[in-house]
C-alpha cells in the first residue's frame, strides 16, 4: 500500500514512474514530439504533474483536457486519454511488480479491446471525407493528416486481438495507405509514395483481400511509370489483374484493366493497350457498385479519360478528340483530374505542332496545378513546355 501522504496516480502517472521520467523530462520530450509532427500543443511540467495525478494543485479534479493536448498524449503513448486519466486501482498488483514495458502492453491491449466495428466504421467515414476534400483541394493540405491517420491505425492494428475487427481495420488502413501513396506521388515524394503503397499491400494481406492488394499494386505501378520503368509497370499491373480475377467487384476489375492499358501504352505497345481498354469497357458494371468499391470514383467518363491519356502517351492524334470530349463532360469539382487531362492535351498538341492550342491548355493546367498543389503535374508541364 502507498503511504497516506503520497498523492494518487493516474495510469499516465504510473507510466511516467515506470519510465523513470520527471515532469520536466516528459515535458521536454512532448515539446520535441509536437514540433516534429506539427501538433499545436504544449505540455508544461506543471501540466504533466496534473495529468499524472488527475488533480490540480489545489486538489480539485483536473477538468477537461484541450484537444491539442489529447492528440499529443494519445499519439505519443498510443493509449486513449480516458485510460491515461484512469486512477490506478488498489486491487491490482502494485505498480512496482510490473515492468514499464509490461504496463504499457497491458494498457495497449486494453485500448485494442475498445476498438470495435463502430470504431472501424467511423475511421472509414473520416477517410472517405478526406478523399472528397483531396479531389477538390489537392494533397498539399491533407497529406500530413492522412499520415497521422495511418500511424494511428498501424498502432491500433498491433493491439487489436479480435479477428473480425482486425480485418476491418486493415481494410481501412490499406485504403488510407493507397490514398497517401497517391498524395505523396502528386507532391513529388516518390520514395514515400512507393512505401505507402507497399504498406497498403501488407495491410491488404491482413485484411485477406486480394482486391485491395491488386488496387495497391496498380498504384505502385504508377510510381514505376513516373520513374520510367515501364516494363516493371506492365508486369505489376498484369499481376494486379491476375490476382483480382474473380475476387474483385466489376468496377475495380475495369479500373485495373485500364491501369494495365496505361502501362502498356507507356511501354509503346499500342495494340495490347487498346485491347486492355476494350476489356476494361466490357468489365464496367451496368449498375452502381458504390459499396463494393467505395474507394473508387470511376465511371465511363474516367475510363475514356484514361484511354485518351494512353493515346497521348503514344502520340496518337485521336487523343485530341477523345480528351476534348471528356473535358466537356468532366465533373468540374475534380480539379486534379482536369489538370492531368489538360497536361495530356498539351502533350498531344505539342507533338502535332499545334502550339497555340498547347499554350492555352498549358496556362489553364498550370493554374489548376498550382491551385491543388500538384508538383507532379507542374513537373510534367515543365518537361513539355521547357
User: What tens digit of pLDDT does each residue of 264-287 get?
Assistant: 999 999 999 999 999 999 999 887
**What's the pLDDT at 40?**
84
The predicted model gives 354-375 an average pLDDT of 94
The predicted model gives 138-148 an average pLDDT of 80
Nearest of 332, 364, 370 to residue 345 by alpha carbon: 364
Q: Name which of 9-18, 123-132, 271-280, 326-335 the model is least confident about.
A: 9-18
For residue 177, is pLDDT > 90? yes
For residue 61, is pLDDT > 90? no
| pLDDT single digits (tens) 238-273 | 999 999 998 899 999 999 999 999 999 999 999 999
**What's the pLDDT at 167?**
95
d(CA 256, CA 35): 40
For residue 291, is pLDDT > 80? no
| pLDDT single digits (tens) 302-313 | 999 999 999 999
For residue 161, is pLDDT > 60? yes
Percentage of residues in the chain having pLDDT higher than 90? 55
d(CA 171, CA 123): 11
Q: What cell numbers appear for 274 in the block? A: 487498346
CA 376, 318, 346, 314 torsion-angle sign: positive
- pTM for this predicted structure: 0.74
| pLDDT single digits (tens) 225-234 | 999 999 999 9
**Helix (H, G, I), strand (E, B), or coil: what is residue 96?**
helix
Angle between helices 190-206 and 143-157 (to 10 degrees): 30
Average pLDDT, the chain: 88
For residue 375, is pLDDT > 90? yes
**What's the pLDDT at 171?**
96
- Of residues 56 and 383, the one with the higher pLDDT is 383
**What's the pLDDT at 222?**
97
Percentage of residues in the chain having pLDDT higher than 70? 92
- Of residues 210 and 101, the one with the higher pLDDT is 210
**What's the pLDDT at 7?**
54
Domain ranges of the chain: 11-113, 115-208, 299-386
Question: Considering just the CA atoms, what is the radius of gyration of the chain in Å?
Answer: 26
Distance of alpha carbon 247 from its chain centroid, rounded? Answer: 23
Helices (H), the chain: 11-19, 23-37, 45-53, 67-77, 81-84, 100-113, 117-137, 143-157, 163-186, 190-206, 210-226, 230-244, 250-266, 270-283, 300-313, 318-329, 335-351, 355-372, 375-385
pLDDT band at 16 (very low <50, low <70, confident <90, very high): confident
The predicted model gives 289-303 an average pLDDT of 76
**What's the pLDDT at 293?**
65
The predicted model gives 123-147 an average pLDDT of 83
**Helix (H, G, I), strand (E, B), or coil: what is residue 104?**
helix
Nearest of 144, 152, 210 to residue 179 by alpha carbon: 144
Amino acid at each position: 500500500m502507498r503511504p497516506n501522504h503520497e498523492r494518487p496516480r493516474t495510469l499516465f502517472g504510473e507510466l511516467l514512474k515506470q519510465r523513470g521520467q520527471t515532469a520536466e523530462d516528459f515535458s521536454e520530450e512532448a515539446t520535441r514530439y509536437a514540433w516534429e509532427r506539427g501538433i499545436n500543443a504544449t505540455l508544461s511540467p506543471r501540466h504533466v504533474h496534473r495529468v499524472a495525478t488527475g488533480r490540480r494543485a489545489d486538489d480539485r479534479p483536473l477538468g477537461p483536457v484541450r484537444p491539442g493536448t489529447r492528440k499529443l498524449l494519445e499519439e505519443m503513448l498510443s493509449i486513449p486519454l480516458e485510460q491515461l486519466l484512469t486512477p490506478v486501482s488498489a486491487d491490482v498488483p502494485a505498480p512496482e511488480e510490473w515492468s514499464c514495458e509490461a504496463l504499457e502492453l497491458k494498457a495497449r491491449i486494453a485500448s485494442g479491446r475498445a476498438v470495435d466495428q463502430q470504431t472501424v466504421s467511423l475511421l472509414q467515414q473520416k477517410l472517405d471525407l478526406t478523399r472528397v476534400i483531396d479531389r477538390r483541394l489537392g494533397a498539399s493540405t491533407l497529406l500530413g493528416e492522412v499520415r497521422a491517420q495511418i500511424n494511428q491505425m498501424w498502432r491500433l492494428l498491433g493491439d487489436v486481438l479480435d479477428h473480425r475487427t482486425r480485418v476491418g481495420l486493415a481494410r481501412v488502413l490499406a485504403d488510407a495507405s493507397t490514398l497517401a501513396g497517391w498524395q505523396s506521388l502528386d507532391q513529388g515524394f516518390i520514395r514515400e509514395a512507393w512505401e505507402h503503397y507497399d504498406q497498403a499491400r501488407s495491410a491488404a494481406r491482413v485484411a485477406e483481400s486480394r482486391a485491395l492488394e491488386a488496387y495497391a499494386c496498380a498504384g505502385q505501378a504508377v510510381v514505376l511509370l513516373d520513374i520510367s520503368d515501364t516494363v516493371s509497370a506492365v508486369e505489376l499491373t498484369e499481376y494486379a489483374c491476375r490476382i483480382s480475377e474473380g475476387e474483385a467487384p466489376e468496377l475495380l476489375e475495369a479500373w485495373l484493366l485500364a491501369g494495365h492499358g496505361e502501362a502498356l501504352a507507356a511501354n509503346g505497345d499500342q495494340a495490347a493497350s487498346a485491347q486492355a481498354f476494350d476489356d476494361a469497357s466490357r468489365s464496367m458494371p451496368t449498375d452502381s457498385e458504390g459499396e463494393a468499391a467505395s474507394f473508387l470514383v470511376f465511371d465511363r467518363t474516367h475510363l475514356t479519360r484514361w484511354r485518351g491519356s494512353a493515346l497521348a502517351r503514344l502520340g496518337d492524334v485521336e487523343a485530341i478528340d477523345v480528351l476534348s470530349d471528356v473535358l466537356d463532360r468532366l465533373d468540374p469539382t475534380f480539379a486534379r483530374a482536369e489538370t492531368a487531362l489538360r497536361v495530356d492535351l498539351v502533350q498531344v498538341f505539342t507533338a502535332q505542332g499545334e502550339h497555340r492550342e498547347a499554350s492555352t491548355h498549358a496556362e489553364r493546367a498550370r493554374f489548376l496545378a498550382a491551385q491543388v498543389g500538384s508538383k507532379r503535374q507542374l513537373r510534367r508541364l515543365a518537361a513539355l513546355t521547357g
